[in-house]
Chain A
Amino acid sequence: MLSVFCSGEVVCEPPNNKLDRFSGTLYWKESKFPLSNQNMLLRGCVLRNTEWCFGLVVFAGPDTKLMQNSGRTKFKRTSIDRLMNTLVLWIFGFLVCMGVILAIGNAIWEHEVGMRFQAYLPWDEAVDSAFFSGFLSFWSYIIILNTVVPISLYVSVEVIRLGHSYFINWDKKMFCMKKRTPAEARTTTLNEELGQVEYVFSDKTGTLTQNIMVFSKCSISGRSYGDVLDVLGHKAELGQKPEPVDFSFNPLADNKFLFWDPTLLEAVKMGDPHTHEFFRLLSLCHTVMSEEKNEGELYYKAQSPDEGALVTAARNFGFVFRSRTPKTITVHEMGTAVTYQLLAILDFNNIRKRMSVIVRNPEGRIRLYCKGADTILLDRLHPCPQELLSTTTDHLNEYAGEGLRTLVLAYKDLDEEYYGEWAQRRLRASLARDSREDRLASVYEEVESDMVLLGATAIEDKLQQGVPETIALLTLANIKIWVLTGDKQETAVNIGYSCKMLTDDMTEVFIVTGHTVLEVREELRKAREKMLDSPHAVGNGFTCSEKRSARLTSVLEAVAGEYALVINGHSLAHALEADMELEFLETACACKAVICCRVTPLQKAQVVELVKKHKKAVTLAIGDGANDVSMIKTAHIGVGISGQEGIQAVLASDYSFSQFKFLQRLLLVHGRWSYLRMCKFLCYFFYKNFAFTMVHFWFGFFCGFSAQTVYDQYFITLYNIVYTSLPVLAMGVFDQDVPEQRSMEYPKLYEPGQLNLLFNKREFFICIAQGIYTSVLMFFIPYGVFAEATRDDGTQLADYQSFAVTVATSLVIVVSVQIGLDTGYWTAINHFFIWGSLAIYFAILFAMHSNGLFDMFPNQFRFVGNAQNTLAQPTVWLTITLTTVVCIMPVVAFRFLKLSLKPDLSDTVRYTQLVRKKQKAQHRCLRRVGRTSSRRSGYAFSHQEGFGELIMSGKNMRLSSLALASFTTRSSSSWIESLRRKKSDSAGSPSGGADKPLKG
């Protein structure tokens, strides 16, 4: 067959990234076949329940739609890295300036003094003028002073980041017991940026939710079931669940199904007709396909997981949906097989928000079963007892308040005559050429009225553990969370509510669904106007902290009141256009929560890029599937959830762990500490290098700018590597300002990172100033002392070597004391390194100045005997002490005053902790307030139109239900054959998987 095909030709659109569209034509054997998206299998799809299929590769490699959707991989660097590079350049400029000043000094000196000094020290043969001497001295000084350009900084920074990465890998609290996966820092270069995140872009399914729907509660004719009750009938506390209901009476029950309220089962067993009808509806009114491999081993293939959950619930309560054909549905009702004749499926769509089936039971009665969104369905009920309606409504409110998604169930008896007539009209409508949809809808509308209320169901879309708490905490930490999902608007909004991103306290939730540029622009404009018009807008003072105000880019960010923005994929496409993106960004950033639904992977990346580009904020993207890869790559930090969805996201990510809730720990604990440590480390590092190097500069003015160093060459070599590197590394790796529990308790502690307060250009100049101040004292105090003084045996004190040793010793002591002050958290390792560095300094000093080394290499170790002679002098020690006191005291005083006058939150927390430790008072708790909620129907949930039609036509019987994103039209064959074939089909997981690329 393939060989025959050789002569075919496909003409199609060029490669693009639109996942939902394809147009092309196949020319074969002189005939034309249109090719649409229905004929396409996207790269990454899994073909399920199909043994083979013929295919033709249209695009391969980078031309595939998936690859077209993946963004470019960019090398990620942290903002501190970039700042560091700038600073290093500045320092380099500073170095050149110093070199020039000293070179000019040298030229002048050589001209004024050096020329006359030639009797004692003639110029080098090559040097013929003071100018040339100055030129040479410039280069000499560049070499001597190059220690201001911290080369070892880069190495140390990497070492510290590596340490932080290991801490993330080792963290037991980020280890998922269930999946036995630890958190993993896959890059070691971004750690401190975790402490600066301002925007989190999250995927929904698999990240916020587990993609598992659970039938959790129901209300049947005014009675609510499903509360977890203890023995006495009171609502049980969380965490102490009694035994789940035992379904062993039912051989077809699904053991994975858990239900906690035994009264419902009792009601079923008692034969309560309402309850029976309730579950009968659930077992009949759906588009689920069943698959029975062995007798009694049922698998349901549900297009949406919540339908699956409902049918499974019915199955366990004794109404087992067994099999279906295009015309029949077979249900085991309490053990007896009943076959209903399926007359019609009134399919779901977004406007109707309900679906119905019309069946004829074995007795011949025709009944319509309907389930749908409460708002829609409650209007179409037969006037029934007000009491039942109000209790059911109460129940619905209660369920919604718990974040559950509700459906209302109803039925209606139809008489044969009416049905016959209606079926005629339906047939006519379905055959109509124009406005077929509308005609059908009105026909459906007509029959779906005057229904009798049966009850309501509540389905829990299982969130990942701890998601609402994490989101609440991150919000408190001033991190804005945007959900970008491929799911539908309703789904996304619903999840937004259940994970507390959206609340009913919110002033307004703007929903942007415009299809044209103008519509979208108008909607965004309206949203902005509303925000500005709202009575409590702008300038309430307490709404925005004063610090923030400096960074406001527009008035809008100061808007009071809580707003949320929900935007659809097609609107987003317009909103992301160059002329509107700023408007969109401005609106979105003024909202507390932003949800983008129906977005493609590339749009996800574009949104991230937009925020990245215009807000100058650190962004973090978190997701679990292949569709999140581009977003993960685009954001400053990409986090992959290692879970069910394969490892593409993890492979593209910078950090990975298996539960969303670990994000709070990653950011608030690890990120915060990393940032703090890195900033402290950088400040200290620049300080110590300037203090060290600038001494040469001052000495230049006293040694004829001859590029003579102050210190021994060995000291210069070892200073950065041995004497001062380890204590600051230990601080950079281990320092903590407040214990980890506190950073969770006080999320505001995260703010300095977002505002970039701990290391910025200002902080840098303060460090530099401190370094220069230290170097001035370090040089001029010994100079003042040495200029006049003599040793206690009358010999000269001010020889060069003694001076060098004195300055070096006081430098090492001062920087050690300074690191001692900077280290907030003295572990044994810090002690070891700090004291060890001092000890090593003196050990090496004495070794270098020992007789033994001098005897071996007299020209290399010129400082022989210096240590013991110099350091035995009381004057020298008094000088060192004075230098230390003068260098350190202002720092202590400054910090103390800052602590008293303008304490940081972390200072206050630490102080409070100290006081609290004494008082043993209880801690502040995160408030948990019961939320009153509006009802939200869940029927829209991940459900797609068109399944009823498919089932009725029998087309999909052969294809085995649900690989429908890649659904291809095939000539239909009899459903019996398909059933036969299904038995031999390989088992697939009950939930669909082929539509991954679009899934949120």
Chain B
Amino acid sequence: MKRTSKDSQCKLPDNTALKQQQLPAYQLQLSATGVLSGFFATGVFCLGVGIILILSAKSIKEIEIKYTEICGNCAKLREDATNFDKECTCSIPFYLSETMQGNVYMYYKLYGFYQNLYRYILSRSNSQLVGTDLKDVGNCAPFSKSHDGTPIAPCGAIANSIFNDTIILSYNLNSSIPIKVPMLRSGITWWTDKYVKFQNPSSINLSSAFAGTTKPPSWAKPVYELDEEDPGNNGFLNDDFIVWMRTAAFPTFKKLYRRLNRIQYFTEGLPAGNYSFNITYNFPVTRFRGEKSVVLSTLTWSGGSSLFLGLAYTVTGAVTWLASFSMMAVHLLLKDRKMLFIQQ
């Protein structure tokens, strides 16, 4: 009874727009003009972007050479892991019929290499790679420690499986002496990777900084000896290493290897002519039925070749237009009927 007496004194609910569900609002209405003009505009936009993308993708010069089969003997050699110390080189001549204008980028491309496996992606130690805690190998299984228990630096499956072929591009100016095409190995990483994510442990020199750790099992040299030419390109800051550590999303991927240094003959890009790749074949791919290739490519404003995007945009634009025309037809046919209803 107490309750009713309390209730009876209830006061009138507030007359606010919120409580009375009278909030001012915009009613979304799919009006014919709105929808149709939106569709036409989208169609125009998609077609435009699509054509631009296709044109720019067409302007890209790209050359890809698969060298797993060409260097078949090396591939066979590497299939047996015990031959790791035997060097195997392979030279692949090719003819460039057109000049590659502008910046030219050299990629290595792997087929069927799964950098996106769950355990593979996890198998790294960011705190080690940032140089703060070399001994932190907690996430690195199955390559965290060597048999004698020393922590591996850099630890983990990603680091262990680094792509370690050496690819040198030579230009045969006049079929006699090949000229080594000047290549830059810097500027192939993200700024944040190079300056934030990867840091060498601080010490007088690198080899002492990495004291107490051991190299990954598949590596020939320790991490502080990766680049013998440029001492600044060693340890965790090695560009190739950083590039490899940014794992690919799909089993087929290409990673930037070198950039053309546009000096001497190459200020305009790569001139047409005879070239050859001299490859030191270290990275075994036939074991998992994979393939390797080397790619030379130029770029446009939007990056590398993306014919897919251009095509997709064009198709979308075309379909949108088609749809808008048919919708317009339907709308015009039914307009009379609709007006009839309102008059009722």
Interface string of A159-190 (1 = CB under 8 A from B): 00000001101111101010111101000000
Whether B197 contacts A864 by the Cβ 8 Å rule is yes
Q: Does B92 contact A (CB under 8 A)?
A: no
Contact partners of A910 in chain B: CB under 8 A:
27, 29
Contact partners of A169 in chain B: CB under 8 A:
13
A869 to B197, CA, bound (A): 13
Interface size for B (C-beta < 8 A) is: 109
Mark the stretch among B224-232, B271-279, B301-309 that contacts chain A: B301-309
Whether A827 contacts B81 by the Cβ 8 Å rule is no
Q: Does B211 contact A (CB under 8 A)?
A: no
Whether B299 contacts A792 by the Cβ 8 Å rule is yes
Whether A120 contacts B192 by the Cβ 8 Å rule is no
Q: Does B67 contact A (CB under 8 A)?
A: no
Given A795-B188, A797-B303, A915-B342; A182-B250 close (CB under 8 Å): no
Q: Does B77 contact A (CB under 8 A)?
A: no
Whether A175 contacts B12 by the Cβ 8 Å rule is yes
Minimal beta-carbon separation of B25 from chain A (angstroms):
4
Contact partners of A184 in chain B: CB under 8 A:
7
Contact partners of A171 in chain B: CB under 8 A:
13, 19-20
Q: Does B267 contact A (CB under 8 A)?
A: no
Contact partners of B35 in chain A: CB under 8 A:
892, 896
Whether B27 contacts A793 by the Cβ 8 Å rule is no
Nearest A residue to B36 via CB reads A896
Nearest A residue to B12 via CB reads A175
Interface string of A138-157 (1 = CB under 8 A from B): 00100000000000000000
B-contacting residues, A772-802, CB 8 Å: 781, 783-802
Contact partners of A788 in chain B: CB under 8 A:
304-308
Contact partners of A878 in chain B: CB under 8 A:
49, 53, 302, 309, 313
Given A167-B19, A795-B188; A859-B246 close (CB under 8 Å): no
Given A120-B157, A140-B118; A795-B189 close (CB under 8 Å): yes
Contact partners of B304 in chain A: CB under 8 A:
788-791, 794, 797
B-contacting residues, A857-883, CB 8 Å: 858-859, 862, 864-865, 868-869, 873-875, 878-879, 882
Whether B341 contacts A912 by the Cβ 8 Å rule is yes
Whether B289 contacts A116 by the Cβ 8 Å rule is yes
Nearest B residue to A783 via CB reads B250
Given A172-B13, A785-B308; A798-B189 close (CB under 8 Å): no
Contact partners of A879 in chain B: CB under 8 A:
309
Whether A120 contacts B13 by the Cβ 8 Å rule is no
Q: Does A64 contact B (CB under 8 A)?
A: no
Q: Does B144 contact A (CB under 8 A)?
A: no
Whether B118 contacts A826 by the Cβ 8 Å rule is no
Whether A854 contacts B196 by the Cβ 8 Å rule is yes
Q: Does A627 contact B (CB under 8 A)?
A: no
Q: Does A71 contact B (CB under 8 A)?
A: no
Contact partners of A874 in chain B: CB under 8 A:
301-303
The contact size tier of chain A is: 35 or more
Nearest A residue to B127 via CB reads A858
Q: Does A88 contact B (CB under 8 A)?
A: no
Q: Does A539 contact B (CB under 8 A)?
A: no
Nearest B residue to A802 via CB reads B249
Whether A825 contacts B114 by the Cβ 8 Å rule is no
Whether A885 contacts B46 by the Cβ 8 Å rule is yes
Whether A181 contacts B250 by the Cβ 8 Å rule is no
Q: Does A117 contact B (CB under 8 A)?
A: yes
Given A113-B114, A120-B161; A796-B254 close (CB under 8 Å): yes
A736 to B331, CA, bound (A): 26
Whether A704 contacts B114 by the Cβ 8 Å rule is yes
How many A-B pairs with Cβ below 8 Å?
305
Whether B116 contacts A736 by the Cβ 8 Å rule is no
Contact partners of B331 in chain A: CB under 8 A:
900
B-contacting residues, A750-791, CB 8 Å: 781, 783-791
Whether A180 contacts B103 by the Cβ 8 Å rule is no
Minimal beta-carbon separation of B189 from chain A (angstroms):
7
Q: Does B215 contact A (CB under 8 A)?
A: no
Q: Does B95 contact A (CB under 8 A)?
A: no
A-contacting residues, B227-255, CB 8 Å: 243, 246-255
Whether B29 contacts A734 by the Cβ 8 Å rule is no
Which of B14, B192, B299, B320 is within 8 Å of A889, CB to CB?
B320
Whether A120 contacts B190 by the Cβ 8 Å rule is no
Given A708-B117, A858-B130, A882-B313; A787-B252 close (CB under 8 Å): yes
A472 to B60, CA, bound (A): 74
Minimal beta-carbon separation of A38 from chain B (angstroms):
31
Contact partners of B24 in chain A: CB under 8 A:
827-828
Whether B20 contacts A172 by the Cβ 8 Å rule is yes
Contact partners of A53 in chain B: CB under 8 A:
none
Whether B21 contacts A734 by the Cβ 8 Å rule is yes
Minimal beta-carbon separation of B261 from chain A (angstroms):
13
A862 to B197, CA, bound (A): 9
Whether A827 contacts B23 by the Cβ 8 Å rule is yes
Contact partners of B117 in chain A: CB under 8 A:
121, 703-704, 706, 708
Contact partners of B107 in chain A: CB under 8 A:
790, 796
Contact partners of B15 in chain A: CB under 8 A:
172
Q: Does B164 contact A (CB under 8 A)?
A: no
Residue among B9, B21, B130, B331 with most chain A CB within 10 A: B21
A997 to B136, CA, bound (A): 80
Residue among B28, B157, B284, B320 with most chain A CB within 10 A: B28
Interface string of A534-569 (1 = CB under 8 A from B): 000000000000000000000000000000000000
Contact partners of A783 in chain B: CB under 8 A:
250
Nearest B residue to A786 via CB reads B249
Residue among A167, A173, A828, A859 with most chain B CB within 10 A: A859
A121 to B4, CA, bound (A): 73
A803 to B15, CA, bound (A): 51
Given A172-B20, A875-B303, A896-B30; A865-B197 close (CB under 8 Å): yes
Given A702-B251, A791-B303, A873-B303; A859-B27 close (CB under 8 Å): no
Q: Does B121 contact A (CB under 8 A)?
A: yes
A496 to B35, CA, bound (A): 51
Which of A121, A182, A829 is within 8 Å of B157, CB to CB?
A121
Contact partners of A916 in chain B: CB under 8 A:
342
A-contacting residues, B1-18, CB 8 Å: 1, 3-4, 7-15
Q: Does A895 contact B (CB under 8 A)?
A: yes
Which of A120, A170, A706, A897 is within 8 Å of B330, CB to CB?
A897
Whether B127 contacts A859 by the Cβ 8 Å rule is yes
A-contacting residues, B133-185, CB 8 Å: 136, 138-139, 142, 157, 160-161
Given A121-B117, A172-B15, A704-B117; A875-B196 close (CB under 8 Å): no
Whether A858 contacts B316 by the Cβ 8 Å rule is no
Whether B187 contacts A793 by the Cβ 8 Å rule is yes
- Assuming A121-B142, A703-B118, A897-B327, what are 19 further A-B pairs, CB within 8 angstroms? A113-B114, A119-B218, A119-B287, A121-B123, A182-B13, A734-B25, A784-B312, A789-B305, A790-B299, A795-B243, A800-B121, A800-B247, A826-B26, A830-B25, A854-B197, A874-B303, A875-B309, A879-B309, A882-B46
A-B contact pairs, 8 of them (CB 8 A): A113-B112, A140-B118, A180-B9, A703-B117, A793-B187, A794-B188, A795-B256, A901-B330
